[in-house]
Amino acid sequence: MISMKMPVSHSTLLRRWLPLLLLLTVAAAKGQHAFKYNLQQPNIHRQLPPMLNEVSGLTDVDDSRVACVQDEQGIVFIYDFRTDDIISRHAFDSTGDFEGLTLAGNTLYILRSDGRLTEWQHFRSANPVVKHYTLLLQTANNEGLCYDAGHDRLLIAAKSKPAAPDARTLRLIYAFDLEKKQLSEEPLYRLNTDQLAADAKSFSLQLTDTTARGMVKPFNFRPASLSVHPLSDEIYMISAADKILLTMNRKGEVTYMTSLPPHLFTKAEGITFLPDGTMIITNEAAGKTPGLFVFEMLP
């Protein structure tokens, strides 16, 4: 008996191949994202002094200076990364776990990990004004802080998951309105670590690492710092534990994800941008030496 195959219609072919075509289109779009930095070759690399071994919060002040805070002392350091000098020090508190730092106009904001936000107006003047806000966050460990100039608000990234037992895969980003001096009722973004793991695979990232004892560490995105890119308006986030940098659009969609070179970044805890898009990342000592890296945008 001779069997004959009926010709396959165009509509059938389209139904068969459309899902694959869509997948390839999405992958190609992600691969073509304009990430204009060479993380392997910083334009400037500075070794910070030992007093900044625990450098955590970071914000730009002008085109040559940044402000930074280390997580054990209530002191803001103004550092000139072009001349490699600490220009000044400004005390605002005694001790505490200070993690986030950002500048909005003439006001510095400092985030303590438990959610206390310090507003430090005219911090470089002879008569600064210091106020504290106790933020009722859903998370116990909060590290990322940046100024979102386009919306006149602060963004606060939680490093830990919410307390609710069914929220272990969530990572929250809050918004603090600077005009109302009020935290948004609901988190601005809810990131799901399972989805982030899928995103990481789409960018061909290795999702597991090993400890010094050979134990496998699972993927566990924990934002340590974030900043809004002044040109693309994307939100850049760093997870020090995973040595990962990701970019996200305003819809909360991951647009790019890459690994931080381990030979440079032992524990990246701070990120900020100059107005021209120059990216600056700070590195805790983590048993070695603290550092600051400057990356100019590629053409």
Record the pTM. 0.86
> What is the bridge-based pairing of β-strands 170-177 and 189-192?
antiparallel
Q: Supply the pLDDT for residue 216.
A: 63
Q: Domain range holding 211?
A: 12-295
In a domain, 143, yes or no: yes
CA distance 135 to 181: 10
In a domain, 72, yes or no: yes
CA distance 265 to 241: 11
Average confidence score pLDDT of the chain = 88
CA distance 233 to 236: 9
pLDDT (tens digit per residue) in 27-83: 444 444 679 999 999 999 999 999 999 999 999 999 999 999 988 889 999 999 999
In a domain, 52, yes or no: yes
Q: Angle at CA 155, nearest 5°, toward 264 and 268?
A: 10
Domains identified in the chain, total number: 1
Q: Supply the pLDDT for residue 23.
A: 41
| φ and ψ of 273, to 5 deg | -130, 145
In a domain, 4, yes or no: no
Quick check: 178 pLDDT over 50?
A: yes
Judged by average pLDDT, the poorest of 19-28, 44-53, 82-91, 160-169 is 19-28
In a domain, 2, yes or no: no
CA distance 209 to 199: 17
In a domain, 7, yes or no: no
Going by pLDDT thresholds of 50, 70 and 90, the confidence category of residue 219 is confident
Q: How far is CA 289 from each of CA 26, 141, 168, 265, rounded to the nearest angstrom? A: 40, 25, 33, 10
In a domain, 5, yes or no: no
Q: How far is CA 114 from each of CA 89, 90, 142, 158, 184, rounded to the nearest angstrom? A: 24, 22, 6, 10, 17
Burial class for 252, CB neighbours closer than 10 Å (0-12, 13-18, 19+): middle
- For helices 10-31 and 193-202, the axis angle rounded to 10 degrees is 100
pLDDT (tens digit per residue) in 247-269: 999 999 999 999 999 999 999 99
Q: CATH number of the domain at 246, please.
A: 2.40.128.630
Quick check: 112 pLDDT over 90?
A: yes
Let me know: does 161 contact 167? Beta carbons within 8 Å: yes
In a domain, 106, yes or no: yes
